[in-house]
Chain A
Amino acid sequence: LAKTTQPISMDSYEGQEVNITCSHNNIATNDYITWYQQFPSQGPRFIIQGYKTKVTNEVASLFIPADRKSSTLSLPRVSLSDTAVYYCLVGDNYNNAGNMLTFGGGTRLMVKP
């Protein structure tokens, strides 16, 4: 499994755009990049997933450069309720019989008023 590296923590203010970058230098050809959000004492929640270039949904955008060795999760106009831990995960999504998630060192985002 590809190892990921993210900042341990980030601070932001309400209304700002937040970008969290994840490094995954040994990403494999079949690997996808997935981001989860976790609030205290709650299960992780899927945010967005991508393979290359840019993906956007109603919650966030995911930017992936051509070499795929990093990715950036972009949260537009954050609010206090976006305060959470954000995990970047990399793995092969075509293995029907496995595909466990390896969480490692997420980014603790603190949004201030």
Chain B
Amino acid sequence: AAGVIQSPRHLIKEKRETATLKCYPIPRHDTVYWYQQGPGQDPQFLISFYEKMQSDKGSIPDRFSAQQFSDYHSELNMSSLELGDSALYFCASRQGAGGTDTQYFGPGTRLTVL
């Protein structure tokens, strides 16, 4: 079965640079969630989109922005990167309308900021 795809899987950036993470949800899933997991920490919700509209916002820094496109894929844009942004970034998708409520997670993007 198709799963959530995230790219790139690994990313190394310098401080103050920008990064773009991409997420391709499971086909027919219309809801996308972004989570950040720092070393030794639990995943923390950042932001979510339902039918291309932002639906919820969590602890996402103002330096980050995200959007969901017409094909339902989503991108997380991160600017002015800081050392503390080094983390695993997970995308999850869900079929919001008429489907199950289960969120399916992607393999994650490991971002390292030097």
A96 touches B96 (CB 8 A): yes
Nearest-CB residue, chain A, relative to B30: A96
Shortest C-beta distance, A85 to chain B (Å), equals 8
B104 touches which of A38, A46, A102 (Cβ 8 Å): A46
Q: From A16-24, A60-68, A103-111, give the one contacting chain B.
A: A103-111
Interface residues on B, range: 20 to 34
Q: From B14-22, B42-50, B65-73, B75-83, give the one contacting chain A.
A: B42-50
Contacting residues of chain B (75-110) with chain A, CB-CB under 8 angstroms: 88, 90, 92, 94, 96-97, 101-108, 110
A43 touches which of B42, B94, B101, B107 (Cβ 8 Å): B107
**Chain B interface mostly helix, strand, loop or mixed?**
strand
User: Which chain A positions have C-beta within 8 A of B101?
Assistant: 32, 49, 93-94, 99
Shortest C-beta distance, A78 to chain B (Å), equals 22
B48 touches A98 (CB 8 A): yes
Contacting residues of chain A (53-85) with chain B, CB-CB under 8 angstroms: none
Shortest C-beta distance, B16 to chain A (Å), equals 26
A45 beta carbon closer than 8 Å to chain B: yes
Shortest C-beta distance, B105 to chain A (Å), equals 3
26 contacts between A and B (CB under 8 A): A32-B101, A34-B102, A41-B108, A41-B110, A42-B108, A43-B92, A43-B105, A43-B107, A43-B108, A44-B90, A46-B102, A87-B42, A93-B101, A96-B50, A96-B97, A97-B50, A97-B55, A99-B31, A99-B96, A100-B33, A100-B45, A100-B56, A101-B92, A101-B103, A103-B35, A105-B42
> Which residues of A are interface residues toward B (Cβ below 8 A)?
32, 34, 38, 41-46, 49, 87, 93-94, 96-106
